Structure 1
């Protein structure tokens, strides 16, 4: 389907000394980064006038849905990565579409659309540059084909366009859409990643319904209170670190999703 093509050509010309730089840049598209950054922006974005409370919640919901989208699409297509002879770093799982490209498009694209600081054109341009850099690093490291990263950008772009439009008048729709995509991911892949992100989407959906009337409190969240995120992220990340029964992983995701959304409105 793919052929090595661009991935082979780029990876074969990368000097060894440049590999650490590429690894650092590609980390900008790591799903773990988004799992941490989105909750932090939800907790502190309104306080520093980076996001309104509603926009912060929409960003969180869209990012969770984007992570679910990656799981669903990779399982649906089941396309393998380039051969190990091409790869400069180790990468697990299916390759199409690129999870880094999809997630980066969703996170940075949604952030550019929802931030309340700076010019919109500048924000979109910055997001496009970051996504392009991440896409190139995936090719240069030999862990994706060109079609993988292009499909990831297209899928991520279509998803945020739909999710942001449908959540414009009702913030909770961002979580509802995420839950729908996560449900599809569970149907396609009964895996630790799928059930964890499903739990996070479910917990976030319920959490927002409970917390939305107190969302304005996000403007007064103390910077030090962000430390309360640590145990929530630890619980949610546990299924991704060690093997757990899938119902337990689902429960961990629910605790993460509900806690991240609800806790700061009660502090």
Structure 2
């Protein structure tokens, strides 16, 4: 059953392969791994990357909570709706244009399996880039939201060009993401109280586990939300007060990315049993939140 007015079918049939490859790259802007790396770097580097007047760690922690909530919300709704993907979702068009060594990576990037509605990429992009537009103090609010909207539109279009979603999937993702962002934004005071955003993400992740069962992905997100809530409650005040030099930020990133980032990636890739997935999610994201304090210790400050 299609609910896309033939848009996906038209785009997959008429888009040149070279543009399909381009959109397979652009679609990564809406991938959880991309958010994880970008937010880890922004959080650990702190004011070594951007002055506090533009973006502080408290608000980056809020963005981390938004990312977890978006992932959990997508898993919950996909499990409830159980709508199939287009037949083209498993076809990696343009693969012959990619060097053979990179072809397996490209095929993973350009194809999808599982349920389709709502689009996780469209949902996540709306929540994350909308969240960035909310908390980043750069330019006017209108400019920030226009830029965020452009990124969301590119990500949404990429899902159609790749043939992994119908139009209704991405529109639903944008609508769901916008609604979730408005709710959490109100609850968490526009990013001023990340602990409440982590709490909301934990509740939604618990719903995902109830709907899906103790699958590795939803259980890992639940562990991440709970671990982050506990850790931020314990060290959030110390992180807020920390004045980070670029050296401290680089040390924190150099330590946290391979250790905690590696654990996060392994948890998702290996899909361990539920207890290990819960623990892996909690330790990886909780560890990243405490990483600036570790970097400060390593720098002898």
Same-fold status (TM-score > 0.5): yes
SS in 1 for 2:23: helix
Matching residue of 1:22: 23
Which deviates more, 69-78 or 97-106?
A: 69-78
Q: 54, 60, 71: which one pairs with 1:56?
A: 60
Q: Which 4+ residue blocks in structure 1 deviate beyond 6 angstroms?
A: none
Q: Cα offset for 1:220?
A: 0.8
CA contact (8 A) 2:46 2:244 kept: no
Q: Distance in 2 between matches of 1:102 and 1:73?
A: 11
1:74 matched to 2:75? The reply is: no
Distance 1:164 1:43 in 2: 23
Kindly indicate whether residue 135 of structure 2 is the aligned counterpart of residue 114 of structure 1.
yes
In 2, are the aligned partners of 1:82 and 1:145 still within 8 Å (CA)? yes
- What is the aligned counterpart of 2:206 among 183, 187, 197? 183
Distance 1:85 1:187, change over 3 A: closer
Q: CA shift at 1:263, angstroms? A: 2.6
Q: CA deviation at 1:265?
A: 3.2
Partner-residue secondary structure (3-state), 2:14:
coil
Q: 1:218 to 1:60 in 2, by over 3 A?
A: farther
TM score, norm. by length of structure 1: 0.94
Aligned 8 A contact 1:101 1:152 in 2: yes
Q: Secondary structure at the match of 1:117?
A: coil
Contact 2:256 2:288 in 1 (8 A): yes
Residue in structure 1 matched with residue 299 of structure 2 by the alignment:
none
- Report the secondary structure of 1:51's partner residue: coil
Q: Deviations over 1:136-192 (max 9, x none)?
A: 111111110000000000001111111111111633101111111111111111211
Pick the structure with greater CA Rg: 2
Secondary structure class of the residue paired with 1:55: helix
Secondary structure of 2:164's aligned partner: coil
TM-score between the two structures when normalised by the length of structure 2: 0.84
- After superposition, the CA RMSD in angstroms is 1.8
Q: Structure 1, residues 118-153: CA drift from partner, whole Å, max 9, x if none?
A: 222111111100100111111111110000000000
The match for 2:233 is 209
The answer to whether the Cα contact below 8 Å between 1:106 and 1:157 also exists between their aligned partners in 2 is yes
Q: Are residues 218 and 59 of structure 1, via their aligned partners in 2, closer, same or farther at CA, if it must alter by over 3 Å?
A: farther
CA distance in 2, matches of 1:96, 1:238: 26
Question: 1 CA distance for matches of 2:126 and 2:147?
Answer: 12
Aligned 8 A contact 2:111 2:162 in 1: no
Alignment of 1:1-267 (within 5 A): 1-3=1-3, 5-47=6-48, 48-49=50-51, 50-84=54-88, 87=91, 88=93, 89-168=110-189, 170-189=193-212, 190-220=214-244, 222-225=248-251, 226-230=253-257, 231-266=259-294, 267=296
Deviation at 1:217, TM superposition (A): 4.2
